[in-house]
Structures are given as C-alpha cells and as structure tokens.
Amino acid sequence: MKTLVYGAYGYTGERIASEALDRGLDVVVAGRNGTKTRGLGIELGVESRVADPGELAPELEDIDAVLNCAGPFTRTAEPVVDACLDTETAYLDITGELPVVEALAERDRDAETAGVPVLPAVGFDVVPTDCLACHLHDRLPGAESLALGVETRADLSRGTLETVLEHAAGGGSIRQNGALESVAVGERTRKIDFGNGPRTGLLAPLADVATAYYTTGVPNIETYVAAPDSAARALRVGQPLLSLLGFRPLRRTLQRAVKALAADPPTQPAERDRVSVWGAVTDGNQTAVSRLETPEPYSLTVDAATTVLERLDGMPELPAGFETPAVALDAEFVLDLDGVEGFHDEALREGERPGLE
C-alpha cells in the first residue's frame, strides 16, 4: 500500500513518516512548502510531492492512502477528502477536532459510493478513548450516558496549541439525546479517579463527543480533561476573553506568536508524561467504570497512526465509508500499541453515577 503523508514536515507528520519507513511501509512525503517537503524527502530518502490541499488530486493517481497530518484540520480535511474521493484513495488523519469529525461523518455516503474509507482521528485523540468507549459499551450494552476523561502532564506541540486556539472561541460541546449541545468550557466539572484518588475533570470538547457516538450509539456523551480547580475558575471568569478569539485577525496573530515562540515536546518523552484515560457508562441502573494507561500522547499518535496503516495494508479489502478507529479495527486495537496496559475494569455499581459534582 503506497501511502502519502501530507503535512509531513510538521512535528507529528515527520515522526509518523519516519516511523512508517522504519516499519517498511511504502511512503511518499507531501506538503505545501516545496523547500521543506523536498528537503524532508531527501533526508528520508523517499519521493516528495508538493501541493496545496485543494490541488492534491493529480498527485494521488498512484497512491492507495493519504494520511493527513496537516492541522488545524478545519483548513485541510475537506479539500484533502475531496481529492481522495475523486481518485479513489483511502483517507486517514490525526485530527482531534470535533467539528472536523462531524463534517467527515457527513461524507459517509459519498465515501461509500466512491468505495473509499474515510478514517479520521487515528492519533492519541481518539484511539485510546474510542477503544475504551467501545469496551465500556460492550460491558453495559444498554448504556445511555458515557463520560470520558484524560489526565496528562505532557506538553503540547506548537501545532496542537495553534489548533486549540482555532477552536477556543467556539466553547464546549456535549452530546445530549444524540444531538450536539453547546456549553461553556469550564462550566461543568466532575470528580474523576484516574487511579490515584479524585481529581477535578474540566468539561472540554474532545473529538470523542463525535467519534464515541458513532462507535457506540450512546446518545449522551461528555468529555473531560484533568485540571486544577483554579483552571476551572479562571476559564469561567475568562470566558468573555476567549470569545475575542472568534475575531480572526486576533486569533491568527496569536497563532503566529505561539508558532514562533513555543517549543515542540522532546521526541523522547519522560515516564511522567504517561496518560491516564478514564471512562464511565450508565444505563440508569448500573454503572461501569474502566481505565487505561498509555504512553505520552505524541508517541502514542505516531504508533497508532502507523499501526493503522499496517493493519489496512494487511486487509484484503478496505472498508468503504466513514469509520471511527474502534469500528474500523476493534476495541482491543489500542492494547496492541507499545506501552499500553490492559483495561482496568471496576466492578459494576448499582444505582450510582460516579463522580458527579
């Protein structure tokens, strides 16, 4: 399977392209900047192709799959998917952006008609949480509500910070009775035990509000990140300031400043950067809680995206249409990744919603 990694000279794209080559996959690197793309091609000893996202189709004639690593994906996913559907090329990406996943889910019928898989979010957000959601749904198939939480001390890449700023003005989202509902970030908190006693989880719109719904069909979904209580208070007070980021020139100026001044995380992560992932489902009578531990998010992303490519490479026929990672592979997929421990299942509890404040 010949795979074109788009956005390949970015922090994550380069790590994935390099890992995929180490694992013997057939890789072409691509991006919009000719100098950086060709330079990376020479460094890695592979072919390189230069194109803007909207001009990619002519570059895909001999390509089987595109792995899009160029984010924020609000700017790249749609045109790259269009190019993939036009040329019957599989589409994958590492987005963690909820609106992007929702937009790609709407392309399901187009993708099925074209016979093309559209498989977004094969990175840290959402592979572990999506597999955990699927596992929890298997434990309690009648579940009506799902909550997921993530605890990490790892630093964010400059590209992730840029992407967070892209969506900051939009506030939060939860899923209620199957529909997306807007809520203010920080409006809701929840006590979550990630394995070392209760911590405050801050409501944050992870892409799982979309993916976990398509994976499990559970109609009520909330996602949380662990944060100090002071962060929740600061977000509540600072809400009007966040809305200023809806003003595009201001947002773009801040994004440029972040890219110029911030630093990417080291490629050899520290043990303290490991991540705890928590999930709970309830059917109104019973509650199931499970947890999972993973390596640092960017290492997990590199491993997950590359392993998904290997799995697709081994399939006699690729699935067609929009798929979430846990559906395209399975709930156990995450356990095959390096440094991921098994699911820790707590005993089913009767008549209790865990950790609600």
Ligand X SMILES: NC(=O)c1ccc[n+]([C@@H]2O[C@H](COP(=O)([O-])OP(=O)(O)OC[C@H]3O[C@@H](n4cnc5c(N)ncnc54)[C@H](OP(=O)(O)O)[C@@H]3O)[C@@H](O)[C@H]2O)c1
Site residues for ligand X per CB under 6 A: 7, 9-13, 31-33, 53, 69-73, 75-76, 94, 96, 121, 123-125, 157-160, 163, 297-298, 301
User: What does the alpha-carbon distance between residue 136 and residue 221 come to, in Å, rounded to a whole number?
Assistant: 13
Residue 169 CB, nearest approach to ligand X (Å): 17
Residue with Cβ nearer ligand X (30 or 235): 30
Q: Among positive and negative, which fits the CA dihedral 17, 20, 24, 25? A: negative
Residue with Cβ nearer ligand X (71 or 186): 71
What spatial distance separates the first Cα and last Cα of the chain, rounded to whole Å? Answer: 49
Residue with Cβ nearer ligand X (7 or 355): 7
Residue with Cβ nearer ligand X (10 or 354): 10
User: What does the alpha-carbon distance between residue 67 and residue 56 come to, in Å, rounded to a whole number?
Assistant: 13
User: What does the alpha-carbon distance between residue 151 and residue 277 come to, in Å, rounded to a whole number?
Assistant: 6
Residue with Cβ nearer ligand X (74 or 176): 74
Residue 263 CB, nearest approach to ligand X (Å): 11
Cβ-proximal residue to ligand X, closest one: 159
Q: Are strands 172-176 and 179-183 parallel, antiparallel or unpaired?
A: antiparallel
Residue 54 CB, nearest approach to ligand X (Å): 9
User: What does the alpha-carbon distance between residue 309 and residue 8 come to, in Å, rounded to a whole number?
Assistant: 15
> Which residue type does 261 have?
L
Residue 125 CB, nearest approach to ligand X (Å): 4
User: What does the alpha-carbon distance between residue 207 and residue 193 come to, in Å, rounded to a whole number?
Assistant: 22
Residue 282 CB, nearest approach to ligand X (Å): 27
245: enclosing H helix or E strand: none
Residue with Cβ nearer ligand X (71 or 354): 71
Which of 330, 317, 305, 328 has the alpha carbon at shortest distance from 66?
A: 305
Residue 178 CB, nearest approach to ligand X (Å): 24
- Stated length of the chain: 357
